Structure 1
Amino acid sequence: MLAAYRSCLSPQHSKYLLISNLLGRLPNGMAPLAIALFLRSQGLGFGTVGAVTALYGLSMAVGGPLLGRAVDRFGQVRVLPVSAGISAVGFLALVGAGDGSVAAASAAAVLAGLFSPPLEPCLRTLWPSVLKDPRDISAAYALDASLQEVVFVAGPLLVVGLTSVADPSVALVVTTVAMLVGTLAYIVPEPVRHWRAEPRTPDWAGPLRSVRLRQLLVSLAFVGAGLGALNIATVAYQEHVGSDGLSGILLGVNAAGALIGGLYYGAREWRADTSQRLTVLLLGMFLCNLPLVLVPHPIVVGVLVFCSGLFLAPALTCGFAIIGEVAPQGTVTEAFAWMVTAVLAGNALGSSTAGTAEQQVGIWASFLVLVVAGAVAFATAALFRRGRSGFGGPTALSGKQAAS
């Protein structure tokens, strides 16, 4: 396992690109919980908290493909710093709207999300120009999917640590600083400054003209819905058991499981094709989340969310491989951005639904939203495979192939 990852990190710039990109992506793990805790500290109900958090996620979902298309057209250096600067204004405006104004908070969350820099798709698009060996590129995709879980381990824990010693608004400020510093550091190396997308065939749909890509996005949207429900359910569970900081710990445990599962998955060669692996992984996530509806003891909840996380990063790695196969030429960044968008759109739906379910029915209902989302994600992937419209072969290294 170490040999595979050591090889992909040995070329010049690869370590720096990965570290700086992860720093800039830290807000992805911090912002949802930071926004939720900040708004709760202002006395807003779970329905409102879930709605504003959903607005942030939906705005990222809308802005990601638009910024990805801009990157494919103008390059990463011209797009990333501008988007990061505008997103920072949104986060700081959210802090300023902490007087209980729901409209102002919602508008600020939309601005912060809409212009969130698309660092994830940019790095995944860049790997083939930094790494020449196809095996190294494949390992880099797996490592990227695994280490992004560090964001979801460190992010919530950092938010919990900050809110335990300072006002919740401090967590939003730190989120902003991390995004700006990471983005500006990432665009310094030569590969980023010189990267250009391949020529593309003009088409308003871009990568979405690929049927197989659209099929994948449906399933991943429900994976995102489960993650969004988990964000809200853990905050509600924290209050239910009266244990401050438990929400961040549970989210961190889930992400730690994903980190371990992803690293193990990426170090092995698998005989089953990608669509079959994706279906099995989604089934595993669903089965691990199912007992949460019973609202068990915190230790049991921790074990369950950890086991669920073991399947998360491998499932996302399958998504990277599939996108690499089916993205039309010249649309790779936008295609990867659409994957992020699918997850975020589902995340926003899950957050909003779980918040409303908790407020109207009870905490068990917020966990039920998580379970139902997982069931639909698995069923959708299984249905596509049974219908012989599977997602693709076992691996993919670039986005040069034409759409099917």
Structure 2
Amino acid sequence: MIAAQLTARFPNGMASLAILLHVEQQTGSYGAAGLVLAATSVGQAVAGPVTSRWMGAWGMRRVLTLTAAVCVAAVLCLALLPLNLAGYMALGLVAGLSTPPIQSAVRTIYPKLVNSSQLTPLFSLDASLQEIIWILAPVVITLVSTQVGTTEGLLLVAAFLVVGCGWFIASPEVGRVRIPRSRRAFGRVVLKPPVLLATVIGFLLIGACAAVEVGVVATFEHGSLEAGLVLAVFSIGSLIGGLSFGHIPIGPWAMARRLIIVAVGLSLTMVMLNAFWLGGTLLIAGIGIAPALAVLFAITTASVKFSETAEAFGWAGTGQLIGAAAGSAVAGFLVDSTGGAQGAYLAATLFAVAGVIVSVVFVRAFPDLRHRDPSPHPDTETLSIPTV
């Protein structure tokens, strides 16, 4: 299941860069490419909670098959059709709207695969292994798009969608786990304090990571080996943290402690901007990322009914997507206004510090899972019992 979902989500680490390179080559404008990426991101942010909720109404396999088919068609059209900017933006929006909700599906399935004592370590392992996507996918798509062609890069994205989603959809667990239809109005689940906290903190954490990416690109040249290696070390730190600390029980202060590690590491990046110093400080910051994400997943699962888990993870994913856009935008503005990469690292630090503050101020809203089953609440309903 882990291997299948990682393969199915691998295009998430490829698609943005593939679209950016292809549209820039076809139009000769990075501005146009940015607009297409913005349309794609808007589509993903809007669709996340909606398609995740559909899985409870129509079944996981139906929703995943439909969205994957539409997404593959949109990517193929982006790759093969001669389009103007409006056409690229429209297809980017469709590709974003139809992004298969693999993340929501698999994190809904996990509580049914393991017992309650294994669920938190499983979430940590998942958060750690997803770093493989962010280490390998950009390298693969850059090599293909620059050495072979941007059309071939998008075709590779489509191929991974077909193979990965097909593998995941065919998994027996996807057929066995059925999500009950939620009886609550759409959007109500995000108002639950732990789900809202997971969405807000996910926004801040991923915003910090996106700002780091801008800072590394601004520090080194776009195509430099140092930039790729430094970002890889950042992801390796997250992988190490998740594998090392994923077994630690989650209490109300767990999120604050993990985010302090991230904030301290990011604050040190502004001292020097050489590759070795940045690699070391980002390795420290990365150690807190996967464990923090594991807390987000666990408090979300433990706070909702099983019928609400997919939609709750959809909202959390939307928060992270918006955070990525906000982090990139703020960091880019600060780089331009200050004339140096320090502005991006300052933005990353501020996002992380804001996450620490939120975690401390609202610590009472975090569930204490140290001696509690982190599985979702069972769905119950009133039975009509005939009386004589």
TM over 0.5: yes
Give 1:371's aligned residue. 349
Q: More deviation in 342-351 or 157-166?
A: 157-166
Paired with 2:214 and 2:220, the residues of 1 have a C-alpha distance of 10
Unaligned runs of 5+ in 1: 1-16
CA distance in 1, matches of 2:88, 2:335: 22
Letter in 2 for 1:399: P
Structure 1 residues 371 and 107, CA, compared in 2 at 3 Å: closer, same or farther? farther
Structure 2: distance between partners of 1:173 and 1:360: 38
Q: Secondary structure at the match of 2:170?
A: coil
Pick from 127, 151, 155: which aligns with 1:145?
A: 127
Which residue of the other structure, out of 296, 319, 325, is the alignment partner of 1:348? 325
Tell me, which stretches of 5 or more residues in structure 2 are unaligned? 380-388
Amino acid at match of 1:138: T
CA gap 1:121/1:204 in 2 versus in 1, 3 angstroms: closer
For residues 216-238 of structure 1, what are the alpha-carbon distances to aligned partners after superposition, in whole Å with 9 as ceiling and x for unaligned? Answer: 31121111212222333333333
User: How far apart in 2 are the matches of 1:367 and 1:37?
Assistant: 25
The answer for the alignment partner of 2:248 in structure 1 is: 269
The Cα of 1:362 is off from its aligned counterpart by 3.1
Structure 2 distance, partners of 1:126, 1:222, is 26
Q: 1:18 to 1:231 in 2, by over 3 A?
A: same
Partner of residue 212, structure 1? 194
| Residue identity matched to 2:328 | S
Partner amino acid, structure 2, of 1:56: T
Q: 1:145 Cα shift?
A: 1.5
Q: Residues 99-138 of structure 1: matches in 2 within 5 Å?
A: 101-131=84-114, 133-138=115-120
Q: Taking structure 1 as reference, are residues 348 and 48 closer, same or farther at Cα in structure 2, changes over 3 Å only?
A: farther
| 1:325 paired residue number | 302
User: CA–CA distance in 2 between the matches of 1:55 and 1:230?
Assistant: 22
How far 1:169 moved relative to its partner? Answer: 4.0
Query: Which residue of structure 1 aligns with residue 286 of structure 2?
Result: 309
**Using a 3 Å threshold, how does the CA distance of structure 1 residues 175 and 199 change in structure 2: closer, same or farther?**
closer
* Amino acid aligned to 1:390: F
Q: TM-score, normalised by structure 1?
A: 0.84
Q: TM-score normalized by structure 2? A: 0.87
2:199 is aligned with what amino acid?
L
Aligned-residue sequence identity (percent) comes to 25
Counterpart in 2 of 1:83?
67
Q: 1:340: Cα distance to partner?
A: 1.5
1:24-77 CA distance string (max 9 Å, x none): 1002222233344445555434x6655543443332121111010001211111
Give the letter for the 1:238 counterpart: F
2:111·2:376 contact (CA, 8 Å) conserved in 1?
no
Within 5 A, what are the aligned runs for 1:280-295? 280-293=257-270
Deviations along 1:162-189, one digit per CA (max 9) or x if unpaired, are: 2452234433322221122111111113
Aligned counterparts of 1:373 and 1:102: Cα–Cα separation in 2: 33
Contact (CA 8 Å) 1:223, 1:373: kept in 2 or not? Answer: yes
Cα deviation, residue 360, structure 1: 4.9
Mapping of 1:7-18 within 5 angstroms? 17-18=1-2
Q: Would you say how many aligned residue pairs link Structure 1 and Structure 2? A: 376
Counterpart residue type for residue 105 of structure 1: Y
Specify the SS of the correspondent of 1:185.
Answer: helix
Q: 1:329 to 1:345 in 2, by over 3 A?
A: same
Q: CA deviation at 1:401?
A: 6.1
The AA in structure 2 aligned to 1:304 is T
Q: What residue is the counterpart of 2:17 in the other structure?
A: 33
| Contact 1:160/1:248, CA 8 A, preserved across alignment | no
Of 176, 182, 187, which residue of structure 2 is paired with 1:200?
Answer: 182
Worse overlay, 346-355 or 164-173: 164-173
Give the match for residue 171 of structure 1. 153
Q: Report the CA distance shift for 1:391/1:103 in structure 2 as closer, same or farther (over 3 A).
A: farther
Please give the alpha-carbon distance, in whole angstroms, between the structure 2 residues aligned to 1:89 and 1:246. Answer: 36
Q: Is contact 1:321-1:396 (8 Å) kept?
A: no
SS in structure 1 at match of 2:6: helix
Within a 5 Å distance, the mapping from 1:175-186 to structure 2 comes to 175-186=157-168
Displacement after TM superposition at 1:112 (Å): 1.6
CA gap of 1:37–1:52, structure 2 versus 1, over 3 A, is same
Whichever of the two has the greater Rg, that structure is 2
Question: In the aligned structure 2, how far is the partner of 1:202 from the partner of 1:165?
Answer: 51
- Name the counterpart of 1:8: none
Cα 1:85–1:353 shift into 2, 3 Å: farther
Checking the alignment, whether the CA contact within 8 Å between 1:259 and 1:310 is kept in structure 2 is yes
1:80 CA drift (Å): 0.5
User: 8 Å contact 1:86–1:112 — kept in the other structure?
Assistant: yes
Structure 1 residues 362 and 113: alpha-carbon distance in aligned structure 2, compared to 1, 3 A threshold: farther
Match of 1:59?
43
